[in-house]
Structure 1
Amino acid sequence: MDRSTIARGLLAAVLLTGLAHAQKKPPPLDRTLVKGVTALAEDWWKARPANRFLEWDASARAKLEERARALGMLPEGAREQMVELLWAAAKKHSPKPALAKGKLTFETPYGEAWCTVASGPKNAPLLVGLHGGGEGQGSADEARSNWERKSCIGLYPQGIRLVHDTWNTVHGERFVLSLIETAKLHLEVDPERVVVAGFSMGGSGSWFFAGRHADLFAGAAPFSGVLMAAPKSQVADKAAVRAIQHGLLPNVRNLAMAYAIGLVDENCMPGTYLYVADRLAELARGDPGGYARIRFQSYPGLAHAFPPGEPKAALDYLLAETRDTFPETVVWEYVSAPAPEREPSDLVTRLGKPCFYWLGCKDPLDNQTIRATRRGNEIALETRGTARGASGITLFLHAGMIDPTQDVVVRSGEQELYRAKPQPDVWTVLETLDARVDRAMVFDRRIEL
């Protein structure tokens, strides 16, 4: 028996041990703990900002975090019970959406924002359709006509400001993230089957969300758009592209994508999409198993239109996929201020993104990259452009990802950074559930480097 066979056997044994441990039904939570968590959760969701346009009161959040930390450790296997407690409190005590006659509205610093909602069955996939347009143009009705599916709950937002690339702006990003959180909490969607899609400007926007927020989605269908690029985004030939917006491409490693563009499209010229296709192919060649679910086609003679059979074929593919919620390998390239830049008239700033899948970073730097790979209880880190190597990185875990009875070992190159058994705690469950308002992507322990 060769060494590779032995290694694979040992890895399988570790994973099976962790899985068996995770599946063992835990005893009910201590009543005192339940009481404390329930009271904390009620206060948390009452204090939490109603949407992504609003900011936390820093003092109030700090006090709530202190209470969560004081509740201390959790018994092994309590994560699911904790999620049930916190999620019930969130549904009860967070602001209810203003939804009437298929229209969802909420107040923003820019005035009332609204979104058309197509109803679907309970626990249905969520399909977020972004309209096209540009300066002074764009309608949610166009997006609904392209992207409605009876089997899905659909969100079709109307751009707050009809400007070029409205979905990539500071207000466009906050708007779409607010809608997704509302849908997960109040519309009974399946958080493991969220798809973002669009055509033209909506294609540009859905590529932006796919890259910056890949951890939220099962798939993306960014048809006939452009990516922000230098010297400009509207180019017919990929050779004219010198650089593409960082903080997007490497991040779609674990995402399903299906999209296309016409080679004679003059509204959204194909140069950036063709350039990106080459870069993604390069990434896939250097990373076996990564970027494997991306389907892109270019069509000679096609102008600014869907190819025959689309977008039906793309949606058929994407809606059969589920999110890779806890991937073994994560690649996270960070962007602090993606294009377009904030306008002087904008009333909000660009959101930060402190976590991505099971990675967190306290003070991320623009254009830094973190690559993390789990093999059983061993985690290998690679960093580029961070302030202090692996220092400041957080690894979020749960018992289904590791064998909790054994040490977790973290290495960067030949250097061992950590060797211990991370313990489950209340604050990690609350913080990670809150980060995305997502009952599926929740962790109960962390390693802070």
Structure 2
Amino acid sequence: MFSGSLCVALVSALVSSQEVPDSKEQEALVTQYLAVDNHSREGHAQGLKVLESLAAVPFPGKRDLKRWDSFFAKYKKTLPQLPEKAGEYTDLDGGRGRYFLAGQLRRPSALFVGLHGGGVDSGDASSSRRMYADALTARGWLGIFPEVLEKTECGWTDSGTEEWVMSLIDRAIDTFEIDPDRVFLGGHSMGGYGSWVIGADHADRFAALLPSAGAPSFLENRSRGTINVQKGVVPNLRNTPMCVFQSTDDPKVGPKANQAAVRDLEVAKGRWGGFEHFEYWEVSDRGHGLPEGGAEALLAKIEGYSRESSPSYLVWQPRVDWKQQFYWLLWEGGSEVKGTVIAKVDRVRGTVDVRLERTQGKGLCVLLSEELVDMEGEVTVFANGVKVFEGVPQPDFATWVRGRALRDPGRAYSVRIPLQLAD
């Protein structure tokens, strides 16, 4: 095993020399890549340097692929696991990172992540557990109920909570061997806000979303009579099933924000299509509570969905700079929301068309696999109408490693095509 300092030195030497690392050096570099924090921009930057040093490695043949399969199988056994019993736990130093496990813990058929309500100086993960646990058990689903790291008005997207929640999901999938296509996110009140926003940031991770009595942030212009929902939410949800519950007599979270989000969604649907499995469930008599039938009625709305991991039409407004892969789009270096990326694949014609609105797109790449295109046929990629690639896609080792590291076949690709867009 190589020490961290030796790995850093190895990366620097190989990047500068462009030499092909030998098999031991390859394993050391892949080990270093697997150790980076993929929930931070700094971690992604470190990972890119490692991948650069692997770029010269030829794509493995069948024999070497079997060796790498064994390597990744051994690596998976070293990953940190969640407890395998229902109960209350803390995950971080100083008693932070409180969460509950409930529902079906032995061979669960799905994972539901339940986000609690609250706000400034309030919020308790046990409330979400009580709300959903029985209905999850009846379905054979596992429930994980995290608590915000800091109790603020937007606690689910403040102070590293979003990053931590996504890491919990990764570990839950590993620990309980959950199908990555059967991961659901929902929550009530502030948890509804979190379901909208985290669900949009990571729409490529979820089978369906279930916010209730909560909405994305918005700005209201009373003189104009308009409400503007925050950027980076509605467009990203084009391919993600979703049921939103709202009571118009809710004294805590009124209907304005969700109604505005639904209007924005209808506009987005008119522009880009999609949103086929979106349902807005509005009633007038439930206050700040759940609908009649409670969590059982809510879960019944989404239980039949599985994630569509490789849709042919994407719309992406990146909101957080550490979210670098969105389905088959990769934004190396990260991007805060400044515009919109619209990307389409036509498998019959073998074309990929990417267009950018109000953003330059430096570092933007397309990832390809057999699910999207015929990997043995010619593919043409366009960026803003300009041809940037034409030919038979060639898999590369660094991109393959990036995909294997995710431990999610639906997000693993073997071909990376930079769009060569400047600032």
Normalization by structure 1: what TM-score?
0.78
Q: Which residue of 2 aligns with 1:385?
A: 358
CA contact (8 A) 1:124 1:188 kept: no
Identify the residue that residue 122 of structure 1 maps to in structure 2.
Answer: 107
Aligned to 1:295: 279
Q: Which amino acid aligns with 2:51?
A: E
Among 379, 385, 410, the alignment partner of 1:408 is 379
State how 1:152-167 maps to structure 2 within 5 Å. Answer: 152-167=141-156
Which residue is equivalent to 2:15?
none
Q: In the alignment, is the contact (CA less than 8 A) between 1:86 and 1:430 conserved in 2? A: no
Question: Where do residues 207-286 of structure 1 align in structure 2 (5 Å cutoff)?
Answer: 207-231=196-220, 240-286=225-271
2:352 matches 1:397:
no
DSSP-derived class of the 1:230 partner = strand
CA 1:101–1:281 in 2, change beyond 3 Å: closer, same or farther?
closer
Task: Find the counterpart in structure 2 of residue 341 from structure 1.
Answer: none
Alignment gaps of 5+ in structure 2? 1-20
* Equivalence map 1:75-90=2 (5 Å): 75=61, 84-85=69-70, 87-90=72-75
User: Which residue of the other structure, out of 322, 330, 348, is the alignment partner of 1:360?
Assistant: 330
Residue 48 of structure 1 is matched in structure 2 by 36
The 5-angstrom pairing of residues 45-194 of structure 1 reads 45=34, 47-49=35-37, 52=39, 56=43, 61=47, 64-75=50-61, 84-85=69-70, 87-97=72-82, 102-107=87-92, 112-118=96-102, 119-122=104-107, 124-148=109-133, 149-150=136-137, 151-194=140-183
Deviation at 1:211, TM superposition (A): 1.2
The 10-residue stretch of structure 1 (216-225 or 149-158) with the greater mean CA deviation from structure 2: 149-158
Partners of 1:63 and 1:418 in 2: CA distance: 24
- Post-superposition Cα deviations, 1:74-119, rounded to whole Å, max 9, x if no partner, equal 459998x6884464244223334466663443225x7531211124
Between the aligned partners of 2:309 and 2:196, the Cα distance in structure 1 is 19
Per the alignment, do residues 328 and 319 of structure 1 end up closer, same or farther by CA in structure 2, a change over 3 Å counting?
same
Residues 33 and 362 (structure 1), Cα distance of their counterparts in 2 relative to 1, 3 Å cut: same
Cross-structure match for 1:204: 193
CA RMSD of aligned residues (A): 3.1
Give the percent of matched residue pairs that are identical in Structure 1 and Structure 2: 26
User: How far apart are the structure 1 equivalents of 2:71 and 2:220?
Assistant: 47
Q: Is the 8 A contact 1:365 1:387 kept in 2?
A: no
Q: Specify whether residues 83 and 141 from structure 1 end up closer, same or farther in structure 2 by C-alpha distance, changes over 3 A only.
A: farther
Q: For residues 421 and 277 of structure 1, what CA distance do their matches in structure 2 show?
A: 42
Q: What SS does the corresponding residue of 1:267 show, helix, strand or coil? A: coil
Paired amino acid for 2:143 = G
| Kept after mapping to 2: 8 A contact 1:123/1:190 | no
Q: Following the alignment from structure 2 to structure 1, what is the Cα–Cα distance between the partners of residues 178 and 292? A: 30
Q: 1:249 to 1:41 in 2, by over 3 A?
A: same
